[in-house]
């Protein structure tokens, strides 16, 4: 808790704080109103999810449920939501851990080490950012079906582990990393790997957190690939399973109503929203860094 | 210790390969190889079973005649016209507001960025519910202003607009943060100098802020154009491309072709066309904007 508070304080400190002049009050009010409207869909989602079936469709807007019930959540839990959630946790956690680790190592090498092929690799990274990932999806699907890996954890995780964004975040950090810190260790005869694990990587803590939160969110939200590669209900990830509540995709909403659909997406959005609220500063710094590099 | 001389710099760090190996192997297997393979498949005829049969340019010829492909590319263009200005302008205005540092700015920043972190089904479903023709809060709010019910997602006329609204809400976070970062980097001295010279707020914005934001504008536009050309998830969840293909996108068409109709060769060919289009648009943008020192330029 104290930790979270410190982060919010730090985040707030980054904004120049200025007093409100009387003339600015209307603008400020309008702006805060828009901000509230921007958050309103989330309020509406949670509120609808807590309403009893008869009170979801109303003639006028009712922002708060007249009576709070958990019926909709019970309805959603009749579907294999726990299995989907477990799949999502496994996939997102493993893919993120590997993505951050591999990204840190590659980012370090690209920033600090000279070896033949370094420029070619970096060029490939740059070029791959121009290629929509969706293009690789069809051939990859064929390949995974052919080797019999469709609907497996390997299929869900492996394509996510080489994350270019992660490499960028770490490369950016290590480019500014003072060489003196490592030189002493190198002179003492430490290998590059030792230097990386003992000195460089531990000092890249902020980049590690930034890469972790961003990659976790991306992986947790990943949609098209798991949608294509999972054929069994038990191997679906949470977003794919819950997408069947969309009227255009599945029939869950016709069957269960919007209350259940809102309960389903509340369950789906809680982990990423919570992570964001707690680690907001790292999110924003990381996204900024990633955006500036590509 | 300065990085002592040329000798040290020229020495090759063979351990570099060990470092990049862990990344490079999956990168080649799951990014580079599929791209090359997809390039090959685009010139073949292939169902999920059987072997690919080389058909040369037949898929591409068919794609140019296929009215659904034309429709999908046109829709992507329309999505771009709705989403890119929407996200760019709102992102800038919201960033200017938050950058004032007035009370509760941090809260406003949280509100503006939050939708970016949730996944497609969340965006899709919450907007399907809000845009419901009869009971959705959007139409109920419009009714209070005397505007009749708009069939947002169920008519060929409005479905693309409905999906765009949700996309703007979802995509705004990144441009907002990039603009905010750029605004915070404008040296305060410049505003003071401008104020001393008698510039009012509008003039300060025009002559101090705006010139500093130019690289960010080009970055935001580039990123958003590419993102919009790849629009899929929200389309899939909200309308599944309908009604009658009116909100379909290129990736949605690729998805339908590959998965529902199982025409892998044809789907790959359309992917190649999309890649070509993205490449073309990016190059044109870079020529038009001519910003050195940003984005790819800075990274390289």
Delimit the domains of chain B by residue range: 73-260
Q: Give A63: exposed, middle or buried? Use CB within 10 Å, 0-12, 13-18, 19+.
A: exposed
Is A33 contained in some domain? yes
Residues on chain B touching A27 (C-beta within 8 angstroms): 97
Domain that holds residue A42: 19-69
Peptide bond into B243 cis (omega under 30): yes
Residues A41 and A175 in one domain: no
Residues A83 and A46 in one domain: no
B209: confidence class by pLDDT, cuts 50, 70, 90: confident
| Per-residue pLDDT tens digits for A162-180 | 998 899 889 988 988 888 8
Residues A83 and A33 in one domain: no
pLDDT value at position B3?
44
Is A74 contained in some domain? no
Residues A90 and A227 in one domain: yes
Whether the CB-CB separation of B127 and A41 falls below 8 Å is answered with yes
Assign 3-class secondary structure to chain A: CHHHHHHHHHHHHCCCCCCCCHHHHHHHHHHHHHHHHHHHHHHHHHHHHCCCHHHCCCCCCCCCCCCCCCHHHHHHCCCCHHHHHHHHHHHHHHHHHHHHHHHHHHHHHHHHCCCCCHHHHHHHHHHHHHCCHHHHHHHHHHHHHHCCCCCCHHHHHHHHCCCHHHHHHHHHHHHCCCCHHHHHHHHCCCCHHHHHHHHHHHHCHHHHHHHHHHHHHHHHHCCHHHHHHCCCHHHCCHHHHHHCCCCCCCCHHHHHHHHHHHHHHHHHHHHHHHHHHHCHHHHHHHHHHHHHHC
Residues A62 and A108 in one domain: no
Residues A180 and A226 in one domain: yes
pLDDT value at position A8?
44
Is A117 contained in some domain? yes
Residues of chain A with pLDDT under 70: 1-18, 132, 250-255, 289-294
pLDDT value at position A17?
61
Averaged over B82-92, what is the pLDDT? 95
Is B196's Cβ below 8 Å from some Cβ in A?
A: no
pLDDT value at position A290?
61
Q: First CA to last CA across chain A, in angstroms?
A: 34
Residues A166 and A27 in one domain: no
Is A3 contained in some domain? no
Query: Nearest residue of A to residue B38 by CA position?
Result: A139
Q: Give the span between the Cα atoms of B244 and B255, in whole angstroms.
A: 16
Is A7 contained in some domain? no
Averaged over B25-43, what is the pLDDT? 89
Residues A50 and A186 in one domain: no
How close does chain A come to B247, measured CA to CA in Å? Answer: 12
pLDDT value at position A80?
92
- Number of domains, chain A: 2
Pick the last residue of a domain from A69, A93, A109.
A69
Is A199's Cβ below 8 Å from some Cβ in B?
A: no
Structure token digits, residue B11: 């020495």
In B58-87, the residues whose Cβ lies within 8 Å of chain A are none
- What's the whole-model pTM score? 0.85
Residues A23 and A98 in one domain: no
pLDDT value at position A12?
44
Tell me which residue in A35, A39, A139 faces B37 most closely, judged by beta carbons: A139
Q: What is the CATH number of the domain that holds A86?
A: 1.10.3720.10
Is B274's Cβ below 8 Å from some Cβ in A?
A: yes
Query: Nearest residue of A to residue B267 by CA position?
Result: A138
pLDDT value at position A246?
81
Is A8 contained in some domain? no
Task: Please state whether beta strands B53-54 and B44-45 pair in parallel, antiparallel, or not at all (unpaired).
Answer: antiparallel
Q: Which of A194, A213, A201 is nearest to A101 (CA)?
A: A201
| Per-residue pLDDT tens digits for B252-300 | 999 899 888 888 889 989 988 998 898 888 888 878 766 544 444 343 3
Q: Which of B39, B67, B32 is nearest to B268 (CA)?
A: B39
Q: First CA to last CA across chain B, in angstroms?
A: 27
Residue-wise burial string across B60-84, b where 16 or more C-beta atoms lie within 10 A, e elsewhere: beebeebeebebbbebbebbbebbb
Is B291's Cβ below 8 Å from some Cβ in A?
A: no
Residues A49 and A91 in one domain: no
Q: Which of B224, B216, B211, B226 is nearest to B294 (CA)?
A: B216
Bridge partners of B45, per DSSP, are: B53
The CATH number of domain B73-260, selected from 1.10.1740.10, 1.10.3720.10, 3.30.1050.10, 3.20.20.140 = 1.10.3720.10
| Per-residue pLDDT tens digits for A96-135 | 999 999 999 999 999 988 899 898 998 888 778 777 677 7
Is A106 contained in some domain? yes
Question: Is B12 close to A116, i.e. CB distance below 8 A?
Answer: yes
Angle, helices A280-293 vs B173-184, to 10°: value is 90
| Per-residue pLDDT tens digits for B155-202 | 889 999 999 999 999 999 889 988 998 888 888 888 888 888 888 888
Q: Give the span between the Cα atoms of A176 and A171, in whole angstroms.
A: 9
Q: Is the pLDDT of residue B48 over 80?
A: no
Residues A246 and A123 in one domain: yes
Question: Is A28 close to B103, i.e. CB distance below 8 A?
Answer: yes
Residues A43 and A126 in one domain: no
pLDDT value at position B193?
86
Is A53 contained in some domain? yes
């Amino acid at each position: 808790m104290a930790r979270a508070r410190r982060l919010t304080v730090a985040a707030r400190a980054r904004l120049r704080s200025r007093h409100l002049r009387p003339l600015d009050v209307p603008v400020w009010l309008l702006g805060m109103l828009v901000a509230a409207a921007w958050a309103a869909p989330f309020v509406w989602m949670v509120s609808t999810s807590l309403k009893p079936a008869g009170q979801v469709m109303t003639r006028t807007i009712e922002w708060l449920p007249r009576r709070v019930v958990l019926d909709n959540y019970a309805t959603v839990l009749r579907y294999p939501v726990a299995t989907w959630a477990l799949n999502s946790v496994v996939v997102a956690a493993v893919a993120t851990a590997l993505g951050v680790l591999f990204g840190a190592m590659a980012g370090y090498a690209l920033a600090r080490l000279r070896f033949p092929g370094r420029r070619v690799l970096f060029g490939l990274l740059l070029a791959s950012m121009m290629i929509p990932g969706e293009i690789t999806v069809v051939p990859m699907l064929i390949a995974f079906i052919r080797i019999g890996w469709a609907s497996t954890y390997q299929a869900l995780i492996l394509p996510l582990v080489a994350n270019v964004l992660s490499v960028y975040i770490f490369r950016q950090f290590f480019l500014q990393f003072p060489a003196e810190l490592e030189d002493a260790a190198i002179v003492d005869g430490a290998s590059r790997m030792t230097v990386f694990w003992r000195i460089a990587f531990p000092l890249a803590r902020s980049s590690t957190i930034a890469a972790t939160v961003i990659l976790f969110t991306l992986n947790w939200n990943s949609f098209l690939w798991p949608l294509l590669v999972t054929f069994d209900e038990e191997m679906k990830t949470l977003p794919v399973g819950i997408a069947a509540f969309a009227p255009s995709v599945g029939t869950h909403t016709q069957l269960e109503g919007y209350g259940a659909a809102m309960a389903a997406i509340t369950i789906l959005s809680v982990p990423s929203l919570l992570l964001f609220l707690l680690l907001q500063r790292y999110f924003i710094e990381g996204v900024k860094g990633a955006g500036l590099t590509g | 210790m300065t990085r002592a001389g040329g000798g040290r710099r020229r020495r090759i760090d063979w351990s570099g390969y060990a470092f990049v190996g862990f990344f490079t192997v999956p990168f080649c297997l799951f990014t580079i190889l599929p791209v090359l393979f997809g390039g090959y498949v685009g010139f073949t005829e292939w169902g999920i079973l059987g072997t690919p049969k080389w058909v040369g340019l037949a898929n591409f010829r068919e794609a140019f005649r296929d009215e659904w492909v034309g429709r999908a590319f046109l829709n992507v263009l329309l999505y771009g016209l709705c989403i890119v200005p929407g996200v760019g302008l709102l992102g800038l205005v919201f960033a200017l507001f938050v950058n004032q540092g007035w009370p509760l700015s941090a809260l406003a920043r949280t509100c503006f960025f939050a939708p970016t972190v949730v996944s497609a089904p969340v965006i899709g479903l919450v907007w399907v519910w809000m845009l419901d023709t009869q009971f959705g809060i959007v139409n109920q709010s419009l009714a209070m202003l005397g505007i009749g019910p708009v069939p947002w997602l169920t008519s060929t006329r409005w479905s693309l607009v409905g999906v765009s609204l949700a996309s703007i809400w979802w995509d705004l976070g990144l441009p907002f943060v990039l603009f905010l970062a750029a605004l915070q980097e404008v040296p305060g001295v410049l505003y003071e100098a401008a104020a001393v010279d008698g510039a009012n707020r509008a003039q300060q914005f025009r002559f101090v802020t705006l010139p500093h934001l130019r690289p960010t504008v080009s970055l935001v536009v580039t990123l958003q154009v590419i993102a919009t050309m790849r629009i899929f998830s929200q389309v899939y969840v909200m309308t599944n491309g309908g009604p009658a293909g009116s909100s379909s996108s290129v990736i949605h068409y690729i998805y339908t072709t590959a998965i529902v109709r199982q025409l892998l060769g044809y789907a790959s060919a359309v992917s190649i066309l999309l890649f070509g289009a993205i490449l073309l648009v990016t190059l044109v943008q870079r020529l038009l904007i001519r910003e050195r020192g940003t984005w790819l330029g800075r990274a390289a």
